[in-house]
Structure 1
């Protein structure tokens, strides 16, 4: 029997960020401030630095996704994924299901949370927006281009995926 080919799910957002500031908030948590290289975004996010230490000047890929599960549909879009009937609580990762590939296999640090706020600046100020996400009390603010943030809607559940960029490929 031929194994079905699987494809990664569409991402809501992805960019490469360089950390410019680290504020030690608690024993295990630091608030990092970073700026992106592709979409000219700014990110302020709380990270458990006890389990995932970070450094000023290092670059990281940060992505947001509604699911970490791979799909058999290579043409699945964010819009189609958002319109699918979701079970109460969204499309959560189930660690009891073994022997499968997920986005978790490709990232070093992952959090799961909910978008609790979205805002846009006055049209005269430019084309800027901000989204606010809570990951069980660890907070994130992502600011920048409205176009880059257009798929992130109020109330959706998202996975925050972070990966250190190796210097030999950056």
Structure 2
């Protein structure tokens, strides 16, 4: 009787261990500075799988421009004075380099530019369209939130995600992908 009960307990324990599986890899990455994309040194390969997991980000709708702006009067032009910011693979966390760049951009927005700015989130080609649209939106929102903390009025900022649809570099290697994981800033007239 005792041996039978001991076997049942052992089978149940093994079943629980088997059913729980291995621990999932954490999605939090430690903060590392992002190398400028023009640097000739190739960035190290990410420690994560080549394709991001679909379940990591839930797709969300992209915030549309206010109805008061008519489509025929909206023109989007890149703002050369505002610098792009770059992100790590599968991340929307702002690095220290990105925060410093956003601080410079906020100073320009507060002192020299008075128009509305659209923050455009971009991703590299890896991952599905839906995943990259959601990630691009999170990247743009991260930049907007930081600019607001630096004093830029939220009413002057809008967000759009292009996902992987507008790559800065058409290449298929880490150097090209690093250039494509970015936020750009465009003025809306």
**TM-score (norm. length: structure 2):** 0.29
Structure number with bigger Rg: 2
Structure with the larger strand share: 1
Structure with the larger helix share: 2
**TM-score (norm. length: structure 1):** 0.31
